[in-house]
Amino acid sequence: MINQNIQSIQHKDSDIFRNLKVRNTSQNIWFSIMWLAGLITLIVLLLVVGYVIIQGGKAINWEFLTTPPRGGLSGEGGISTTLGTTLFLVVLTLLIATPLGVGAAIYLIEYGGEQALTSPVMRALIAIANFAVETLAGIPSIIFGLFGYALFVSALQLGWSLLSASLAGACLVLPTIIRTTEEALLTVPDDYRRGSLALGATKWQTLHKVVLPAAVPGIITGIILSVGRIISETAVFFVTLGGSARMPTSIMDGGRTLALHLYYLAMDTNAFDKAMGTGAVLVIMIILINLSINIVSNRLTAKIRGGK
């Protein structure tokens, strides 16, 4: 009887060990598959970025960067005016979007909570505003394009111009700026606010002398992210910017950004080498933007840790 018991225990033990072995083997197999998934993701990135930079790099030289594109169906010339247009558009869009986005974020984070308590209407309004930001972030860019085309290009008769494009582009990047600014404001410790209010400062004095300076790196992250989105965006500007290869001389002129130029080269001409060169310039810009975002956000975390 006792013997039997011991035997069964031993039997069970070995069962457990065998079972553990099976489980460990299955874990090893699945972990390898997950490593493979991570590796494939990395390879996809290296393949796309590497191919574009190496193939496109051949087309890039000083002349390519400094001569304007011929335009039309020729595909000849460089990218100078498209660089200029991109810069012009980025600055104009951010001039519109940044104050509005930062303002909205300040209200939603710093005033939203207390205002929601004042009346049910305010509470509903603030909830709807948050929902609207969420919705804006999910709307596809071609819809922003259609909207910009219907309102700015046609109804307001601004035509295909930098102004129409930057207004539509501002709607596109607004949620990015709002969300990153909100996150930055949330990381500012409440002690800062209380300390300032206790010294007799008004709410606004507290905000612009104490809270906002502490949130600046986060706000800058949002702005840099938006620069990236405007540089990469094509669909919105395809229907609002016109596509002229000339350098715009006023905000009422049309033009083409780097990304748009790439599209026209790839679709309307056979100048794939120049398209690839333009792509390489775009990819390098995006890499630089991502690097600077990481630097700024590292500084932000360091600052918060130091502050505590």
Rounded distance between C-alpha atoms, residue 254 and residue 246, angstroms: 8
Considering only residues 157 through 216, tell me which ones interact with other proteins, judged by CB under 8 A. Answer: 171, 174-175, 178, 202-205, 207
- CB within 8 A of 245, min separation 6: which ones? 68, 69, 70, 71, 72, 77, 81, 82, 256, 261
Cα–Cα separations (whole angstroms), residue 205 to 114, 161, 304 = 17, 39, 21
- Total residues in contact with other proteins, by rule CB under 8 A: 89
Minimum distance of other proteins from residue 250's CB (angstroms): 22
Region from 63-71, 79-87, 185-193, 226-234 binding other proteins, contact rule CB under 8 A: 226-234
- CB within 8 A of 84, min separation 6: which ones? 247, 248
Orientation of helix 212-232 relative to helix 162-187, angle to 10°: 140
Minimum distance of other proteins from residue 105's CB (angstroms): 8
> Is 48 a residue that touches other proteins (CB under 8 A)?
yes
> Is 227 a residue that touches other proteins (CB under 8 A)?
no
Minimum distance of other proteins from residue 253's CB (angstroms): 17
Out of 7, 8, 27, 119, the only residue in the binding site for other proteins (CB under 8 A) is: 27
Angle at the Cα of 153 (from 149 to 158), degrees rounded to 5? 160
Helix (H) or strand (E) holding 80: helix 80-106
Region from 1-9, 19-27, 75-83, 245-253 binding other proteins, contact rule CB under 8 A: 19-27
Rounded distance between C-alpha atoms, residue 267 and residue 272, angstroms: 9
Minimum distance of other proteins from residue 173's CB (angstroms): 12
Out of 69, 77, 78, 112, the only residue in the binding site for other proteins (CB under 8 A) is: 112
**85 half-sphere exposure, CB direction, 13 A CA radius:** 29
Minimum distance of other proteins from residue 169's CB (angstroms): 12
> Is 129 a residue that touches other proteins (CB under 8 A)?
yes
Considering only residues 236 through 295, tell me which ones interact with other proteins, judged by CB under 8 A. Answer: 238-239, 259, 262-263, 266-267, 272, 275-276, 279, 282-283, 286-287, 289-290, 294
Neighbours of 159 (CB within 10 A): 15
Q: 193: buried, middle or exposed (CB in 10 Å: 19+, 13-18, 0-12)? A: middle
**12 half-sphere exposure, CB direction, 13 A CA radius:** 6
Minimum distance of other proteins from residue 70's CB (angstroms): 19
Rounded distance between C-alpha atoms, residue 302 and residue 79, angstroms: 39
Considering only residues 51 through 110, tell me which ones interact with other proteins, judged by CB under 8 A. Answer: 51-52, 55, 99-101, 103-104, 106-108
Minimum distance of other proteins from residue 287's CB (angstroms): 7
> Is 44 a residue that touches other proteins (CB under 8 A)?
yes
Phi, psi of 255 (to 5 degrees): 180, -170
Out of 185, 235, 271, 300, the only residue in the binding site for other proteins (CB under 8 A) is: 235
Minimum distance of other proteins from residue 154's CB (angstroms): 8
Region from 2-10, 141-149, 189-197, 215-223 binding other proteins, contact rule CB under 8 A: 141-149
The amino acid present at 222, given as its one-letter code, is G
- CB within 8 A of 17, min separation 6: which ones? none
Out of 8, 11, 14, 40, the only residue in the binding site for other proteins (CB under 8 A) is: 40
> Is 151 a residue that touches other proteins (CB under 8 A)?
yes
